[in-house]
Amino acid sequence: MITLHGKSVFGDICIGDIVFYKRKERVIKRYRVEDTDAEINRFQAAKSEGVIQLQALYEKALQDVGEANAAIFEIHQMMLEDLDYHESIINIITSQQVNVEYAIGVTADNFSAMFSAMDDAYMQGRAADVKDVSERLLTILDGTDTSNTDLNKSKSLDNPYILASDDLVPSETVQLDKSKVLGFIMQKGSANSHTSILARSMGIPAIVALGDELKPDYDGITAIVDGFTGTVYIDPDSKTLEIMKQKQAEAGEKKELLKQLKGKESITLNGQKIKIYANIGNTSDVGTVLSNDAEGIGLFRSEFLYLENNDFPTEEQQFLAYKQVAENMAARKVIIRTLDIGADKQADYFNLDKEENPALGYRAIRICLMQPDIFKTQLRALYRAAIYGNISIMFPMIISVQEIVKIKEIVKEVKAELTAEGIPFKDNVETGIMIETPAAALVSEDLAKEVDFFSVGTNDLTQYTLAIDRQNQKLDPFYQPHHKAILKLIKMAADSAHAEGKWIGICGELGADTSLTEEFLRMGIDELSVSPSMVLEVRKKVRETDLSK
Amino acid sequence: MKKFSYVITDELGIHARPAGLLVKEAAKFTSNITLKCGDKSGDAKRIFGIMGMGIKKGNEVTVEAEGSDEDAAIAGLADFFKNNL
């Protein structure tokens, strides 16, 4: 078994035999011509024919893969008719008195070199388009076809296969019988190359930039393409095959689930609705939030900004991160939790003292209230970013009203400062607190008067209620996540919230525990925030639940 | 000569497809139409020239038209940029 790594452009798995597609090499000869006008005429004729071909390809692609993918052939037409391109070719023919093939070859090299030299990955990918257009002209001129028209007719292609090559150009992919292609593996290419765009629109695994390690000799050999990790297993051993088949089946179930549940409401059989949001820990997680169809972000842990840095993240750094997530989520809610450093999450530059009981120590909101400068920087960034989407702010580790009063004072100062500086921000941002200490649940009736929402952090709530250290594996036998005490505290918080007309969510691990979904629904929990991969399973559970029975 | 300025909002900037559409739009007019961005400039009727400018989101471009239908060209292209870029 040989394992190769590349850049994945679509997360899925396929298993099949490799067909390595190798283009015939074209050799362009340079020779001197006397009659340059005749050469120019040959060029014009080839160009007219090329335009007709591209028009036909556009029509075909329109039917096969849709307008967005077909547009490339319209662009190819424009490239073919581009004046710069013409002038270059005609200029080379007349000034050097050479044949049209040579003029086209040189022009193609020059123009594609221009794209390759651009600092933008997308534009670099367009070098292939110039080559493709020029190749079309050369094919028309000498009648030899170097493209893969015969690929579909080839011997081994009765069965679906994994297509390997250096990189495919649009005119090659459009001619493929797409029902036969399981996945793409390419030596070259980028996330923006044509093969990648096509793979994404077909929804099949593709890995590009595998390099020369992907050898033409692998033609006919069985392989596994794991688009989740960007790995290709050539001639896999039986153990790998078994693992990947399992993974493939799971991905298939997931896809099926997604097909059934995407865009559907999270509603019980008797009509009770609940929102299902996702928890994330970095701006880069937004993609998986959207692909799993979460209705919002219920917990955006802001710690990554602090943990990934060697010093306190600046207001601007934070602002950009929050803004990006808010914009990417469009109108969907994004609940950002303020700094939750301390206990098991440490950053050196905070210079926190070593503590006997860190979980009961100087952490989260306690740091923010004792070191308001750190807190203010984050609040400024949050209130500024709130303009760009539907941001809510959530404060962790609350035990009493007293902290909320202090938080409100600081927020007021922050707003006054922003106003004085003339910096735009959103005034009425929804604010809430985490219910993760037994104290907070027990005084939730007072807390509910002060905030817009609650979100139960079940991991800490469990640790503090049961007095079980989460980090100590020895205590596992005593750990009872469904302990009645925890559920009672959640119920208490839910009743307090609802009595004040506020909403309550659950963002800890219990939120994704489908054996508790029904109980949470009965408590009237308004929102469950779970890891992105659990969103659809929880939605499925909700839709199967009937509370009228 | 008539002109207008516009800040690109499309995530990808003037990539292949909008460059193609821009050429199509510009070709409707007989005026010479020039696209400027920073110290680069290109003929709006030439797709390679436009793509080669590498215009990105946030860049400010100036479109200049000179010729008998320059008013119509500016009006048409201003609409085009607003709707597509």
Contact predicate B51/B18, CB 8 Å: no
Name residues whose C-beta falls within 8 Å of residue A130's C-beta, 6 or more positions apart in sequence. A79, A108, A111, A112, A115
* Annotated domain spans of chain A: 25-144, 149-245, 270-544
DSSP string, A190-227: -TTSHHHHHHHHHT--EEE---TTS-GGGTT-EEEEET
- In percent, the amount of chain A with pLDDT more than 90 equals 58
- Partner-chain residue, chosen from A111, A118, A126, that has the shortest CB–CB distance to B16: A126
B15 or A45, greater pLDDT: A45
The fold of A149-245 is Glucose Oxidase; domain 1 (3.50.30)
Distance (Å) from the C-alpha of residue B2 to the closest C-alpha of chain A?
A: 24
Which residues on chain A are in Cβ contact (under 8 Å) with B24? 78
Residue A373 has a pLDDT of 95
User: Inter-chain contact B48–A84, Cβ cutoff 8 Å?
Assistant: yes
When pLDDT is cut at 50, 70 and 90, the band that residue A155 belongs to is very low
Confidence of residue A2 (pLDDT cuts 50, 70, 90): very high
Helix (H, G, I), strand (E, B) or coil at B4: strand
* CB of B19 less than 8 A from some CB of A: yes
Residue A523 confidence class, pLDDT cut points 50, 70, 90: very high
Q: What is the tally of helices (H) and strands (E) in chain B? A: 3, 4
A479 versus A69: which is more confidently predicted?
A479
Q: Where are the alpha helices (DSSP H) in A451-483?
A: 458-466
Residues of B in contact with A82 (CB under 8 A): 46-48
Which residues of chain A neighbour B12 with C-beta distances below 8 Å?
122
Complex ipTM, two decimals? 0.87
Mean pLDDT of the region A220-234: 93
Length of chain B counted residue by residue: 85
pLDDT digits (tens, 9 = 90+) for A387-409: 999 999 999 999 999 999 999 99
Active-site positions of A read: 194, 507
The single residue listed with the structure tokens 């999270």 is: A266
Least confident of A114-123, A178-187, A267-276, A534-543: A114-123
Predicted local confidence at residue A11, as pLDDT: 82
User: Structure tokens of A354?
Assistant: 């070593």
Number of Cβ within 10 Å of residue A140's Cβ equals 18
Judge whether B38 is closer than 8 Å to chain A, CB to CB.
Answer: no
Cα–Cα distance between A69 and A202 in angstroms, integer?
A: 11
CATH class of the B2-84 domain in this structure: alpha beta
Residue A146 has pLDDT above 60, yes or no: no
Please give the Cα distance from A189 to A202 (Å, whole number): 17
Nearest CA in chain B to A113: B52
Domain boundaries, chain B: 2-84
- State which residue of chain A sits closest to B16, comparing Cα positions: A75
- Nearest by CB to residue A71, choosing from B17, B52, B56, is B17
B75 in A contact zone (CB under 8 Å): no
Give me the pLDDT at residue A454, please: 98
Cβ contact A111–B48 (<8 Å): yes
Q: Does B20 touch chain A (CB under 8 A)?
A: yes
Mean pLDDT, range A373-377, rounded to an integer: 96
Q: Do B16 and A118 touch (CB under 8 A)?
A: no
Q: Is pLDDT above 70 for A125? A: yes
Whether the CB of A85 is below 8 Å from some CB of chain B: the reply is yes
Q: Give the chain A residue whose CA is nearest to the CA of B23.
A: A78
Note whether A511 and A458 are within 8 A (CB): yes
Mutate to test the interface with A, among B11, B23, B46, B55 (most CBs of A within 10 A): B46
Residue A144: per-residue pLDDT:
65
Q: Which of A71, A78, A118 sits opposite B23 (nearest CB)?
A: A78
Searching chain B, which residue's CA lies closest to the CA of residue A85? B48
The fold adopted by the segment(s) A270-544 is TIM Barrel (3.20.20)
Q: What is the pLDDT of residues A4-31, one digit of tens each?
A: 999 888 888 999 999 888 777 677 888 9
Q: Look over chain A and give the mean of its residue pLDDT values, rounded to a whole number.
A: 89
Give Cβ neighbours of residue B75 (< 8 Å, ≥ 6 apart). none
A70 CB neighbours in chain B (<8 A) are none
**Chain A CB within 8 Å of residue B54 CB:** yes
List of chain A residues whose C-beta atoms are within 8 Å of the C-beta of residue B84: none
Coil/strand/helix, residue A531: coil
Residues within 8 A of B (CB atoms), A 97-136 only: 111, 114-115, 118-120, 122-123, 126, 129
The answer to whether the CB of A508 falls within 8 A of the CB of A465 is: no
- Å between B33 CA and nearest CA of chain A: 14
Paired tokens of A542 = 């909700």
Among the residue ranges A123-127, A197-201, A332-336, B35-39, the one predicted with the least confidence is A197-201
Q: Is A25-144 a domain of CATH 1.10.10.10?
A: no
Identify the pLDDT of residue A266.
Answer: 94
CB contact under 8 A, B47 and A111: no
pLDDT recorded at residue A531: 87
Q: Measured between alpha carbons, how far is B41 from B77 in angstroms, rounded to an integer? A: 16
Q: Any idea of the CA torsion for A71, A72, A73, A74, to the nearest 10 degrees? A: 50
Catalytic positions of B are 15
- Give the residue-averaged pLDDT of A86-109: 92
Q: Tell me which chain A residues have a C-beta less than 8 angstroms from the C-beta of B41.
A: none
- Highest mean pLDDT: which of A21-25, A48-52, A193-197? A48-52
Nearest to A464 by CA among A436, A492, A445, A489: A436
pLDDT at A93: 93
Q: What is the mean pLDDT of residues A446-470?
A: 94
Q: How many Å lie between the alpha carbon of B4 and the closest alpha carbon of chain A?
A: 25
Asked if A71 and B15 come within 8 Å (Cβ–Cβ), the reply is no
Q: Which residues have C-beta within 8 Å of that of residue B51, sequence separation ≥ 6?
A: A115, A123, A126, B14, B15, B16, B19
